[in-house]
Structure formats: structure tokens, C-alpha cells
Amino acid sequence: MFAICVRRRSVFLTNSGWSAETISSFRAFPNGLTWSADDKKLIYSLSNSLGSGLSDELGEVTVENGSTKQLAFAGNAMGPTVSSQGNKLAYSSLFTNLEIWRRDLLQPESPAVELIPSSRAQWDAQYSPDGKRIAFVSTRSGLQGVWISSDDGANLVQISNPNYESGSPQWSPDGNKIAFDSHPGKHWEIFVADVSERKPRKLVTNISNISRPYWSRDGRWIYFNSIGPGGTGIYRCPASGGDGVLLSKGTGTGVINPQESFDGKSVYFASNHDKSTLKQVALPAQPDTVSKVDGMPLIRSAEVWTLSRAGIYFVPDEAPRSLRYFDFATRHVRPIFEADKDFSSGLSVSPDGRWIIYSQGSDVNGDIMLVDHFH
């Protein structure tokens, strides 16, 4: 939890231990702060990324009452500054050119093929249960959103609300729905969209600030992680909505990215965001049933692993360009292939086990943006 505090006309960010008046608090990482020309508002930038490239936003908070408002024109923005007259706003806009690639697991030495080319960042690609479609995250429209294509990258359709930042798509077991997280207001929420109707509906639950959904194998439940006021944790609730049930409470930077085993008897998840430990909890979840995956090395981050029926594909912490496989039966790790660039968020194996799709980081580019007539 970070707080924006003020003392006289000095501004600073604090965790605790300072004597100051708190204006507003955020569950995100602050990376920029400046006064408005009339000293009545503070313009801030926050990182709301869920693990994929850059996802920073600008907002403003009124000093008098602490009310906040997101500035909709800004995407991937940081380091705001306001002109002395108060009518111009400048900020830096950064973006990473993440690309989606496919490789043949039966012939991993064969060259990878780029899917769904775009000049904008794309990641978290996921095969549909029949292997004929791909859901993925893209900034091709300007704002991070969830898209669908055929398995060759053609026939692109956006399924998330184009006005909200959205990501982390996951197919339902029957392939008729996609769950994803979205940021329509102050917090992340989960929405479910019917693939044919393309109308997202909010997953109504008693747990707040939720993200990274994942369906149970029978389609009855949706798993997710929360960084809400009650603390970080892995939960599940009925796929139609309802009260969430805590499966594992998080510590530190939390737990993220739950995935149910193929036999439906346990849930795997990553503990902490970077240099993550994979853990599992038996179902139905009981106290003290959480354990580390025996023999599994640390992974590079919480978003670079995925389950198969017999093991786990993952990117190890010490080798960001290496894909490896952990075998459940032998508890041994074997290499699969080496990529020419670092892996980024998202791994998905086709239902027949032949193909794997993933994203790779490329160059980080930036622009200085100027907003006229700012007020």
C-alpha cells in the first residue's frame, strides 16, 4: 500500500513512519507525481501492470477531499509535469514491442513462426480447447484489450470493452466463453464474455480487486487472485458468480496465476511475482495443505509457466530465454528449446500437445507526449 502525502507545499511518497497528512492511498506502484498550477490537485502516475510489459496510467487527486480521477487520454504513461500556466501537460509514454510466436514441440529445433503480427505489444496468448482459436492481449487499438483470432492469426475480433484496460484471457472448458480481468474504475475486476455475443458481463463476487482468472476443468468454478483490502490470496467462486472461497493466503508481494490440475484434485499457483516459487493446494482446500512443488526450480516470473497433463512447461529464473519441462512422474527437468529473446508473459500448449505459443520481449521505445488545453 502506497500513500500520497503532503506537508506544506512539499510532496512525497511514503510507506510508513512519516508524520504527514495522507491525501489518498493506492494499491499500485507510483512512478511520478507533480502539482497542478493552482496547487489544488496532484497529478500522479501509477503502474497497474499485471505482469506483461508496461501498463502505466495517469490520474489526478484533489488535495482538499482526496477524490481521484483517471486521465483517460494517457496510456503507458509516467513522469507527468504541468506547465507553469497550467494549460499544458507533458508525460513520457513507454511501450515494449512484445510479439507472439509459435513453435513445434515435436520438432523444437525448427524455427519459430510469428503469429498475429502487430507493431504494438501482444502477450498472454491462450489456445481454445479445440485448438482452432487463440485469445490474447494486444495494444493494437491503443488501449490494452483482449482479442480473438483463428489459430493462424487471421480473423481478429476484440472481445473486451474497448474503453477499459483488459487482459489475462482464459477460455472456458467448452470454448464458448472467455474470462478476463479488466480495469473499469479504481480496481481490477473479472468479466466473462460469450464468444458469439461478445458482450462482457462482470463476475459478481464478494472479493475485491481481483485478476488472473482461470476456469476449473468442469467449468463450475473460476479461480483468481486478489490484492483487495482483506489481503492477497488465491480464491475461487462459482462461474456464474457468488462468494469467493479462500484457497491460499498470500504474503509479501502475493500469490498469482492459479491453474487447476487436469484431474481437478489440486490448484497450482505462483508465490511472489518475480523469481517465483510454484506451489499447490489440494482440493477441497484445507488449512496447511499448501506445499511447494517438490523438485520444481524457481521460475522467472509468475506468468511464464503452464500445466500439461504430465508436467509443467516453464522458464527458469536463471535462464530467461530457455523453455524447460518438469515431469511429474520423474521429478526431473529437461530442456525444450532456447529462444533468441527473453520470454514474456504467457505460455499455452495446444490441446494435442504439439504446439506452444508464447510472447517475446523486443525493444522498449518511448515518446514524450504533450497535452494542450489541459485543465
User: Where a domain ends, among 71, 94, 117?
Assistant: 94
Within-domain flag for 375: no
Residue 195 and residue 163 in contact, taking contact as beta carbons nearer than 8 Å: no
Residue 337 and residue 54 in contact, taking contact as beta carbons nearer than 8 Å: no
d(CA 269, CA 284): 15
Per the model's pLDDT, the better-predicted residue between 92 and 113 turns out to be: 113
Determine what percent of the chain is predicted with pLDDT higher than 90.
58
- pLDDT of the residue at 295: 95
d(CA 117, CA 97): 11
- pLDDT of the residue at 242: 97
**20-65 residue pLDDT tens:** 677 776 656 677 888 888 888 888 887 755 444 445 678 888 888 8
User: Where a domain ends, among 65, 94, 123?
Assistant: 94
d(CA 44, CA 78): 8
Q: What is the CATH number of the domain that holds 319?
A: 2.120.10.30
Q: pLDDT class for 7, splitting at 50, 70, 90?
A: very low
**292-334 residue pLDDT tens:** 999 999 999 999 999 999 999 999 999 999 999 999 999 999 9
Please give the single-letter amino acid code of residue 323. L
**241-296 residue pLDDT tens:** 999 999 988 765 578 899 999 999 999 999 887 789 999 999 987 766 889 999 99
User: Are 77 and 104 in a shared domain?
Assistant: no
Q: What is the mean pLDDT of residues 198-206?
A: 95
Total structural domains within the chain = 2
Proportion of the chain in helix, strand, coil states, percent, rounded to 5? 0, 55, 45
Within-domain flag for 31: yes
Q: What residues contact 242, with CB distance under 8 A and at least 6 apart?
A: 204, 205
**117-168 residue pLDDT tens:** 988 889 999 999 999 999 999 998 888 999 999 999 999 999 999 999 999 9
Domain containing residue 53: 2-94
Torsion of CA 125, 131, 133, 134, to 10 degrees: 0
Predicted confidence (pLDDT) at residue 116 exceeds the cutoff of 70: yes
DSSP string, 25-57: EESSEEEEEEE-TTSSEEEEEEE--SSSS--EE
Q: What residues contact 295, with CB distance under 8 A and at least 6 apart?
A: 326, 331, 332, 333
